[in-house]
């Protein structure tokens, strides 16, 4: 998750000096040395990032298993795994749960909460703002294994703090409402990113426009709709695409419910793990991974086109 | 007048509710480590430090933190050095197909996630004998983080004036000397950023070590934390709470360091 912030830049950004007599290769590196500089990084990326992505497509076309005869001599089975997936109700259940997870926790939860926080804290300075922002960011930066257990403790049926506060001892959140639990958990976990993004976006809305809208008697909602949204439309789209992508690939529901009970919170990320590494059906798991990869590709291409069109 | 009052009450009520939502789950981590006999419920601690004693006596707790440190530092070193070299060359020399390469890297790093690649990475680790190897895990993590790191550090390089390098060259420095003694000091804030970013990523990563390290002695804190609360029997809340706190503190310190030094805000790529 941390990989979402682009790095802070030094305060003074000096524009590159115009190329004069020298080429832009100011140190005189030359193509050969430049190639040698790039090669080690590219080699690692090729072996541990690109190759696995291609290999998963191949594996998805075989009956490769973790153990047994098919482990020694996997056979090419064509599109069998994909046919199996589309006819398997478990796959569709898992896809439907993933859709609920992304829609509930990212598109609705994080966006609404993140925007609300950014809007409320927009013109504030001082302690209240730093305390609220600090806590929201804390939920985002703590290790996922720690926050997952914090929620296990919070939601515990008999001794959990939530049931004590609400006065409903014995209410089994994780057993009876696993999807609701992981959706609220992930909303809590990921809101910081949206809050910061909208915070930055709202800073770009010219205060004079808001002021004239206010003078013209626009209500809070009208100001939002007519002044703010047109200015931050691009940010909203960016935000939606990125957090959907991350939530779609998020493995932390596994840490909270392990997909259970009875697969009732088994989103695709957890489903792949169970099928491939717990049941040992690597071929079928790889086929589902291929589907995930394709969905990621569609979202990412869409996002990159958006970035390019803005430049 | 009434409208502003109603507005204020509404504002503070909503802030209070949101503050409670974000605070309540965290309270346990602050209270339980200092409580002699913690339960799941948050209670006022009696400020004991005995629980930290149990961590010292625990067979894997401290070792796992050391493992996390090895993985984080190892990956950070590799990522910083390799991404800086690559980004410098890509920033200064027009290698054919450079823009397409950068575009492809950005695309790949965002779509090939742990979830999408766990099956082939697991198999690759088996084939290469990298299961239960810190080196193997470091290489895999590095491969995943490098594209984004190259991107970030290239921004710094592009923003650095070339005049320093030009003058060093006029005085007869060799290209490698220039890179070591002129470029590196200038982009040091960028390198520090990449290091912190990598450490934070690896420190919190659960999926990859969970898949690739089965030897308890080699597992990092993320995996030990998970084992502590899922393995059979009554979870030992004294160990869990205290360990969770120790495991979290470095992240918080790093965050405070970064936000104090650079300000923790959005720039460049995201904001465009």
Summarize pLDDT for A52-104 with one digit per residue, the tens. 999 999 999 988 888 776 677 788 888 888 988 889 999 999 999 999 999 99
Running DSSP on this structure, what letter comes out for residue B124? H
Expressed as residue numbers, the domain containing B74 is: 61-214
Tell me the average pLDDT across B152-169. Answer: 84
Instruction: Identify whether residues B12 and B95 lie together within a single domain.
Output: no
Distance from CA of B214 to the nearest CA of A (A): 13
Q: Do A38 and B105 touch (CB under 8 A)?
A: no
Tell me if B255 is assigned to some domain. Answer: no
pLDDT computed for residue A18 by the predictor = 44
- Mean pLDDT computed over B163-177: 84
SS3 state at B256: helix
Q: Which residues of A touch B25 (CB under 8 A)?
A: 139, 147, 150-151, 154, 188
Is a pLDDT exceeding 60 seen at residue B269? no
Distance from CA of A295 to the nearest CA of B (A): 9
For residue A262, the domain's CATH number is 1.10.3720.10
Instruction: Report the residue of chain A nearest B29, measured CA to CA.
Output: A150
User: How far off is chain A from B155, nearest CA to CA, in Å?
Assistant: 9
In our burial notation (b when 16+ CB lie closer than 10 A, e otherwise), range B151-164 reads bbbbbbbebbebeb
Q: Exposed, middle or buried by CB within 10 Å (0-12, 13-18, 19+), for B228?
A: buried
Which two tokens mark B167?
Answer: 């003058």
Say yes or no for a CB contact (<8 Å) between B142 and A48: yes
- Of A20-24, A142-146, B198-202, the one with minimum mean pLDDT is A20-24
Q: How far is B177 from chain A (nearest CA, A)?
A: 9
Q: How far apart are CA B125 and CA B144, in angstroms?
A: 14
Residue B220 maps to a domain: no
Q: What is the pLDDT of residue B206?
A: 95
In B, minimum Cα distance to A22 occurs at B166
- pLDDT (average), residues B46-67: 89
In this structure, are B127 and B155 located in the same domain? Answer: yes
Choose one of B189, B214, B239: the last residue of a domain.
B214
- Shared domain check, B143 and B111: yes
A149 pLDDT exceeds 90? yes
Do residue B86 and residue B9 come from a single domain?
A: no
Q: What is the pLDDT of residue A310?
A: 65
Let me know if residue A68 belongs to a domain: no
pLDDT of residue B271: 29
Both B150 and B43 in a single domain? Answer: no
Quick check: B102 pLDDT over 50?
A: yes
Residue of B nearest to A236 (CA): B271
Residue A4 resides in a domain? no
Q: Which of A199-208, B5-14, B70-79, B81-90 has the highest mean pLDDT?
A: B70-79
CB pair distance less than 8 Å for B147 and A45: yes
pLDDT at B19 (0 to 100): 94
pLDDT-derived band at A17, boundaries 50, 70, 90: very low
Is the pLDDT at B185 greater than 60? The verdict is: yes
* High-pLDDT (> 70) share of chain A, %: 91
Least confident range of A13-22, A129-138, A199-208, B152-161: A13-22
Residue in chain A nearest B79 by alpha carbon: A41
B175 assigned to some structural domain: yes
* pLDDT (mean) for A103-111: 95
Instruction: Please give the pLDDT value at position B49.
Output: 86
Who among B89, B120, B148 is closest to A52 (CB)?
Answer: B120
- Show Cβ contacts of residue B213 under 8 Å, excluding neighbours closer than 6 positions: B131, B132, B137, B219, B220, B223
Residues of chain A neighbouring B140 (CB-CB closer than 8 A): 48
Q: Spell out the SS3 assignment of chain A.
A: CHHHCCCCCCCCCCCCCCCCCCCCCCCCCHHHHHHHHHHHHHHHHHHHHHHHHHHHHHHCCECCCCCCHHHHCCCECCCHHHHHHHHCHHHHHHHHHHHHHHHHHHHHHHHHHHHHHHHHCCCCCCHHHHHHHHHHHHHHHCCHHHHHHHHHHHCCCCCCHHHHHHCCCCCCHHHHCHHHHHHHHHHHHHHHHHHHHHHHHHCCCCHHHHHHHHHCCCCHHHHHHHHHHHHHHHHHHHHHHHHHHHHHCCCCHHHHHCCCCCCCCCCHHHHHHHHHHHCCCHHHHHHHHHHHHHHHHHHHHHHHHHHHHHC
Q: Determine, yes or no, domain membership for A248.
A: yes
| Segment 165-204 of chain A within 8 Å of chain B by CB | 165, 188, 191, 196-197, 199-201
B39 and B85 co-located in one domain: no
The pLDDT value given to residue B267: 43
Is the pLDDT reported for residue A10 higher than 50? no
In a domain, B238, yes or no: no
Kindly report the nearest CA distance between residue B246 and chain A, in angstroms: 10
Q: Which of A22-36, A245-259, B103-117 has the lowest mean pLDDT?
A: A22-36
- A57 Cβ under 8 Å from any chain B Cβ: no
Q: Residue B235 is inside which H or E element, if any?
A: none
What residues form DSSP beta bridges with A62? A76
pLDDT at A124 over 90: no
pLDDT at position A25 over 70: yes
pLDDT of residue B263: 64
Chain A partners of B253 at a C-beta cutoff of 8 Å?
A: none
Asked whether the beta carbons of residue B92 and residue A307 sit closer than 8 angstroms, the reply is no
Which pLDDT score is estimated for B225? 93
What total of structural domains would you count in chain A?
1
Sign of the dihedral defined by the CA atoms of residues A257, A263, A269, A274, in that order: positive
Q: How many domains does chain B have?
A: 2
| Confidence band, pLDDT 50/70/90 cuts, at residue A187 | very high
The two structure tokens encoding residue B227: 């084992």
Q: Are residues B121 and B161 located together in one domain of the fold?
A: yes
For residue B173, being part of any structural domain is answered with: yes
Is B227 a domain residue?
A: no
pLDDT value at A28 more than 80: no
Tell me the pLDDT band of A9, cut-offs 50, 70 and 90: very low
Q: What is the Rg, in whole angstroms, of the alpha carbon atoms belonging to chain A? A: 24
Residues B90, B24 share a domain? no
Whether residue B144 sits in one domain with residue B28: no
* Chain-chain contact of A49 with B264 (C-beta, under 8 angstroms): no
Nearest CB to A145: which of B85, B161, B225? B225
Distance CA A202, CA A38 (A): 39
* Contact assignment for B26 to A273 by CB distance below 8 Å: no
Question: ipTM of the predicted structure?
Answer: 0.88
pLDDT at B212 over 80: yes
Lowest pLDDT segment from A17-31, A146-160, A211-225? A17-31
Average pLDDT over residues B205-224: 94
Between chain A and chain B, the number of residue pairs with CB atoms below 8 A apart is 358
pLDDT value for B272: 25
Q: Are the Cβ atoms of B119 and A14 closer than 8 angstroms?
A: no
The residue of chain B with its CA nearest to that of A290 is B116
- Hey, are the CB atoms on A17 and B163 less than 8 Å from each other? yes
Per the prediction, chain B carries an average pLDDT of 87
* Residues B116 and B182 reside in one and the same domain: yes
Q: How confident is the model at residue B264 (pLDDT cuts 50, 70, 90)?
A: low
The answer to the question of residue B261 being in a domain is: no
Residue of A nearest to B124 (CA): A52
Minimum CA–CA partner of A250 in chain B? B115
Q: Is A44 on the interface with B (CB under 8 A)?
A: yes
**Same domain, yes or no, for B93 and B162?**
yes
The mean-pLDDT minimum among B77-86, B116-125, B263-272 falls in B263-272
**A41: chain B residues, CB-CB within 8 Å:** 82-83, 85-86, 146, 150
Look at residue A22 in the predicted model and tell me its pLDDT: 38
State which residues form the domain around A216: 88-310
Is B267 part of a structural domain of the chain? no
Residues B31 and B125 both lie in one domain:
no
């Amino acid at each position: 998750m941390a990989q979402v912030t682009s790095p802070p830049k030094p305060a003074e950004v000096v524009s590159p000096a115009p190329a004069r007599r020298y080429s832009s290769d100011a140190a005189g590196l030359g193509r050969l040395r430049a190639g040698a500089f790039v090669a080690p990084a590219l080699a690692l990326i090729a072996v541990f990032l690109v190759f696995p992505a291609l290999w998963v497509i191949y594996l998805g076309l075989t009956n490769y298993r973790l153990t047994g005869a098919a482990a020694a001599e996997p056979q090419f089975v064509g599109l069998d795994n994909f046919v199996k997936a589309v006819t398997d109700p478990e796959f569709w259940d898992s896809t439907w749960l993933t859709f609920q997870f992304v829609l509930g926790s990212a598109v609705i939860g994080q966006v609404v909460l993140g925007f609300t926080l950014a809007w409320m804290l927009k013109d504030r300075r001082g302690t209240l703002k730093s305390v609220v922002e600090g806590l929201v960011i804390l939920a985002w930066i703590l290790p996922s294994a720690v926050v997952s257990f914090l929620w296990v403790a919070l939601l515990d049926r008999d001794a959990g703090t939530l049931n004590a506060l609400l006065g409903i001892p014995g209410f089994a959140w994780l057993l009876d409402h696993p999807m609701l639990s992981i959706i609220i958990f992930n909303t809590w976990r990921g809101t910081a990113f949206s809050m910061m993004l909208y915070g930055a976006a709202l800073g770009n809305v010219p205060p004079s426009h808001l002021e004239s809208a206010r003078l013209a008697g626009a209500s809070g909602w009208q100001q939002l709709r007519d002044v703010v949204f047109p200015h931050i439309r691009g940010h909203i789209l960016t935000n939606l695409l990125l957090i959907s992508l991350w939530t779609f690939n998020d493995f932390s529901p596994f840490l909270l419910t392990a997909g259970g009970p009875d697969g009732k919170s088994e989103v695709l990320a957890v489903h792949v793990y169970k099928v491939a590494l717990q049941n040992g059906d690597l071929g079928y798991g790889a086929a589902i991974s291929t589907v995930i990869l394709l969905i990621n590709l569609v979202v990412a291409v869409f996002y990159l086109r958006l970035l390019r069109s803005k430049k | 007048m009434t409208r502003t009052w109603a507005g204020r009450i509404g504002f503070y009520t909503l802030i209070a509710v949101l503050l409670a939502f974000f605070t309540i789950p965290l309270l346990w981590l602050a209270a339980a480590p200092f409580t002699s006999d913690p339960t799941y419920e948050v209670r006022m601690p009696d400020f004991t430090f005995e629980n930290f004693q149990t961590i010292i006596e625990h067979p894997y707790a401290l070792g796992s933190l050391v493992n996390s440190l090895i993985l984080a530092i190892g990956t950070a070193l590799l990522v910083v050095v390799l991404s800086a070299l690559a980004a410098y060359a890509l920033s200064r020399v027009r290698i054919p197909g450079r823009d397409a390469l950068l575009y492809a890297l950005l695309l790949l790093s965002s779509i090939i996630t742990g979830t999408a690649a766990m099956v082939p990475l697991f198999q690759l680790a088996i084939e290469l004998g990298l299961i239960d190897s810190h080196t193997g895990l470091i290489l895999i993590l590095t491969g995943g983080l490098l594209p984004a790191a190259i991107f970030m550090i290239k921004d710094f390089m592009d923003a650095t004036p070339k005049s320093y390098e030009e003058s060093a060259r006029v005085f007869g420095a060799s290209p490698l000397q220039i890179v070591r003694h002129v470029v590196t000091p200038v982009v040091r804030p960028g390198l520090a950023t990449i290091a912190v970013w990598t450490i934070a990523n690896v420190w919190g990563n659960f999926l990859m070590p969970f898949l690739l390290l089965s030897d308890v002695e080699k597992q990092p804190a993320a995996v030990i934390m998970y084992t502590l609360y899922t393995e059979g029997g009554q979870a030992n809340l004294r160990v869990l709470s205290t360990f969770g706190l120790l495991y979290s503190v470095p992240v918080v310190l790093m965050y405070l360091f970064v936000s104090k030094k650079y300000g923790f805000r959005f720039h460049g790529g995201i904001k465009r």
